[in-house]
Amino acid sequence: MHSTKPIQTAKTGYIVMSLLLCILGIVIIIHPEVSANTLCIMIGVLLICYGIFKVIGYLSKDLFRLAFQFDLAFGLLVVTVGIIMILRPTHMITLVNFVLGIIILSDGLFKVQIAIDSKKFGIRKWWLITILAVIAIAFGILLMIDPFTSTNLLMIMLGSALLAEGFLNFCVMLFTVKIIKNQYPEANNNQ
């Protein structure tokens, strides 16, 4: 019999991080004047935690192997970016939107593949994951090209992107990670 504790930890952590991304997004939308230095540090801490839960998810024995399939390398990348944002916030201020745009764009693209794979597994809400992933991709692109004339508009876009990313990840966890009490280790699935 295989313990479900790592997958439960990953799922819970992912949901908590998704909610924190949503909360941070809402705070930035309401208060777009937040200091860039403070923003870099807050986002850095969130990225480190988020990346850690991605790695934990990858190492867990997710029954469908959908939600966490790309999370080892991507989780390590996100942790690295988070550490840099905390250690060098003044250097990252000018790049924060571009870097987060790349992360959100990449995650959205991975989630499109997860949605397609979810459809093959018969998960009925695959279309919602696809729609949310496309929205996240659009926000990621907007953050990278920065078409905004004012800093406040850019910050509101950043907050909206974090909110969309948090909601996307929450839905992916909710719909694709199934925890079954007596999951078998990978070796037994081949029998």
Is the pLDDT assigned to residue 9 strictly greater than 90? no
Contact 169, 25 (CB under 8 A): no
pTM score, two decimals?
A: 0.78
pLDDT of the residue at 134: 95
pLDDT at 123 over 50: yes
- Packing angle between helix 71-87 and helix 96-120, nearest 10 degrees? 160
Convert the pLDDT of each residue in 160-177 to its tens digit. Answer: 999 999 999 888 888 877
CA dist 34 and 40 (Å) reads 10
Q: What gap in Å lies between CA 179 and CA 118, rounded to an integer?
A: 15
Residue 1 CB neighbours (<10 A):
9
Delimit the domains of the chain by residue range: 5-174
The answer to whether 25 and 167 are in contact (CB under 8 A) is: no
Where does the pLDDT of residue 83 fall: very low under 50, low under 70, confident under 90, or very high at 90 and above? very high
Which band of pLDDT confidence, cut at 50, 70 and 90, is reported for residue 67? low
140 has a pLDDT exceeding 90: yes
CB 34 within 8 A of CB 28: yes
